[in-house]
Each structure stands twice: as C-alpha cells, then as structure tokens.
Amino acid sequence: MSGIAISVRSLGKSYRLYAHPRDMVLEMLSGRQRHREFAALQDVSFEVGHGSVVGLMGRNGAGKSTLLRIIAGTLDATAGAVTSSGRIAAILELGTGFHPDYSGRDNVYLGGLCLGLKRKEIDAQVAEVIEFSELEEFIDQPFRTYSSGMQARLAFSVATCVNPDILISDEALSVGDARFQLKSFDRMREFKRRGKSILVVSHSINQLVSICDRAILLDRGRLLMDGDPNAVGNAYHELLFGRRGASAAEASADTSTVLDREHRYGDGVAKITDFHLIDAEKRTVTRLRSLDTYTAVIKIRATQQTEALCAGILVRNGRGQDIFGTDTIACQDLRIAPLAPGEEVIVYMQFRANMAPGNYFLTATVARTDGTKHDVRFDSLMIEVEPVAALYTDTVVNLEPKFRIEQRTGEPQATMALVE
C-alpha cells in the first residue's frame, strides 16, 4: 500500500487563556476581548505515508501532544487542516481512557467498543489482547490496582489489537519494562509491514532512531526539522543541551536542564569559566559517535594568586555510576604552574569515546595539588553517545570488538596430537 495516511497542512492551534472562567462568559456577553492568545502550534505541515513510522521529538511544551490530539480528533485546530484515512487508535495519556474501577477485562471490552468494535469482534480478540499484555493473572482485578507499567501494557495491547490503520502513541512505550518494550517494537514493525502508519512521541532519541523511518522535530509549536531520524535526533539533542545555535536567550533556556543539575562548589580561588567538548574539526559537540576522538576543553581563570594546580575530569553514566575519572597529575604528572589573578589557562584532554550509546554527565574540577578544591562543576555537561547498531542495548562500554571465525574442518589428528 502506498499513499498518504495522515496529511497535516499548515496546522495551527491557539488557546485562549482566561485569567478566570467568568471572563469567558463576560467576553461572550460584552464582545470585548478578555483573553490572551497562546499559540501551541503554528503552521505545521507534514505527511505520513502508509507503512511508515514517524517519530515526534521536542522539548516539554513543544506542542507534541497537542499535535497528536488534533490528529486523533480529540482537539480542534484553529487553523489549517488534518486529513487522515482509516481507523485511528490512540494511546494519548496512559490509561486515562480506562475506568479505574472496572476490571482489566471489562476495560478491554469498553475500550474496544469505544474504538468502534462490535462486541462479537472483541469476543474473538479478547484472549489475544490479554495474552499480549501478559496480565492473565490480574485481568479480573480492578484497573486501578495495576502498576503504571501494567496499565500501559493493557492500553497498548487494546490499541494495537483493534487493528487500526493509524496508531498514535504518546510516550506509551516509555512506561513498560524492557521486555515489553521489545515486544511493542516487534508489534510496531509488524504493523509497518502490513502497511499501517504509526506516529509516535518519545523522549528517548535512541528509541525513536531505532524504530522510525523519519522524525519530526517540534519546538515552540513550530516544525523545526523533518527528515532522517538520526539527523533530527542530533538537532533535538543540540536543542536540549547544545550551547550553539538558536538565539542567546533560547540557548540559555536550553541549557537550564544541565545547569539545574550542575552542582558547583569550591573555594573559588580559581574558576572554571568554560567546559565543553570539541570534535576533530574543533566544533563544539554534545552528541558523540562511539569510538570517535574528542577533546574536552577546560578553561580556568584565577581570581587570586594560586599555587600549582591540577585539573580533572569525571564521567558518570545516566545511572550515576562513575565510569571514568582522572586528572592531570594522576594521568601524566602534569601540573599547572601557579597563576596570577586574572590569568587564564586552557586544559585539553583528548580521548576516544569508548562508551556505549547512552547519556553521560561530565564533571570538571580544578584543585590545588594537595586536593583542596578551587572549583568543582559536578555534572556540568551532558552528552549523548549515538546508538550503535553493533552493540546490545544494555552495553556500557565499547570494547571495539573484532570477531574472527576460524573454521576447523575435520582434523582428528590434531586432537590425537594433543593427547600425545
């Protein structure tokens, strides 16, 4: 099947914000404007073909959910148009469509009826839905007793078992456990094979890159980028953590996530004024390719006369485990000569990114040789290592594996020789 499943044309959505509910009524009666307009989406256009999986990326409040809701039809657009062909099943906010007091089984029925199935059709499928959700044991318990992961599993099972032509999923995959996520991926791929379209939101770039054919990046209600998932993933990462690009105001807003997380301490005799990574072409980067060579740049400025100094770097993974740490002295017995007030020095550390895909937090320190800390910028920089198809997902390091297979063709003599 080819053709267009979803077509979004210069879509816009603005909300009227009223300071108080009564303002709405007063406005209707008096005709005088009493609201503020807030544009959640502006001039968004794209198309989704049959049999394609499109990922939506964007920061919180970028308009992803609004867009999905408009496509799904639970929200109206204020400008532009959306056309879609076929039955849409949407998992918009997990489990909220389900009734908390009904059992899982009742919710399967009610959910199916809501999605337009006949009771008989559901009868035929209920066993499969329950089996896929792996909730056989709990299916007759009230839905509210389920954990959020279990609720997500049931919602996903129902939405995908009704055989929709278009599946819309808002972060549905992030809740289930790793095993169920794999299962969901398989199901999505199967969907794709059957020519169905999938539109999915996720905050995990890795996840999107691994299942999507195409990705769309939204920011502040506008479509920033539409194309190859890897490229869009890079742009998204840049948007989140990057120090370049966009306007200065935006950049400072972007890095707030990092700065919020950064924990800075020290006596301030010398300060780390800048800390970032550059690649071989001297471009600042936050998204790395496993096994490429990069250089960490630490700029230090003294505020008073200092003694000899030492600079260090610590790398922690997303779970907060230290995976690498060293400093100029420990590594190469390198000391920074004492600095006069206002004097600046730049320390470079070249390294190969032998990390597995994932997020990492970098810490930079400057200290006296006896260990007195002048400035520690803990978790100051977040970087992401791009997915590598060759590695398993839970891998921590990249050992640069090289396999070699040596075929031994029936040589009983060799064994004999060993025995002798």
Partner 1 sequence: MLSTALKILAPAPNGMALRHFSLLIRRHHELVWEMTRREILDRYTGQVLGALWAIGLPLLSMGVYVFAFLVLFQGRLPGATTSIGYAVFMLAGLAPWMAVQEALGRGPTAVSGNAGLVKQIVFPNEVLPLRVAFGVLPTLGIGIVVVGMLALIAGLGGWLTVPLLVIVIACHLVMTVGLVYLLAAIGVFVRDVRDVVTVLLSVGMFLQPIFYAPGVAPRTLEAIFYLSPVSYLIWCYRDALVYGEITRPLAWVAAPIISMLLFLVGYRLYRNLQPAFGNAL
In the complex, the residues that contact partner 1 under the rule CB under 8 A are: 15-16, 21, 24-25, 69, 72-76, 88-90, 92-93, 96-97, 101-102, 109-111, 113-116, 118-119
**CB-nearer residue toward partner 1: 114 or 224:** 114
Residues forming beta bridges with residue 103, ordered by sequence position: 142
**CB-nearer residue toward partner 1: 115 or 150:** 115
Please give the span between the terminal C-alpha atoms of the chain, in angstroms, as a whole number. 67
Pair 101, 144: CB distance under 8 Å: yes
SS3 288: strand
**CB-nearer residue toward partner 1: 11 or 89:** 89
Give the pairing type, strands 79-84 and 263-265. unpaired
Nearest Cα neighbor of 270 from 315, 233, 300 is 300
CA gap 216, 274 in Å, rounded: 32
Q: What is the dihedral of CA 405, 410, 413, 414, to 10 degrees?
A: 10
**CB-nearer residue toward partner 1: 21 or 371:** 21
For 147, other C-beta atoms within 10 Å of its C-beta total 11
CB of 122 to partner 1, least distance (A): 9
CB of 99 to partner 1, least distance (A): 8
Per-residue tokens: 215: 């990705």
**CB-nearer residue toward partner 1: 79 or 224:** 79
DSSP letter string over 88-119? EEEE-STTTTS-TTSBHHHHHHHHHHHTT--H
Nearest Cα neighbor of 377 from 299, 279, 294 is 299
**CB-nearer residue toward partner 1: 164 or 357:** 164
Q: In three state form, how does the secondary structure of 295-310 look?
A: EEEEEEEECCCCCCEE
Q: Which amino acid is at 329?
A: I
CB of 72 to partner 1, least distance (A): 5
**CB-nearer residue toward partner 1: 69 or 237:** 69
**CB-nearer residue toward partner 1: 57 or 88:** 88
**CB-nearer residue toward partner 1: 144 or 189:** 144
CB of 395 to partner 1, least distance (A): 36
CA gap 136, 127 in Å, rounded: 9
CA gap 243, 273 in Å, rounded: 14
CB of 97 to partner 1, least distance (A): 4
Nearest Cα neighbor of 11 from 91, 70, 90 is 70
CB of 14 to partner 1, least distance (A): 10
CB of 78 to partner 1, least distance (A): 9
256: left (phi over 0), alpha (psi -120 to 50) or beta: alpha
Pair 293, 350: CB distance under 8 Å: yes
Pair 91, 153: CB distance under 8 Å: no
Residues forming beta bridges with residue 14, ordered by sequence position: 39
CA gap 365, 378 in Å, rounded: 8
**CB-nearer residue toward partner 1: 73 or 227:** 73
CA gap 170, 199 in Å, rounded: 8
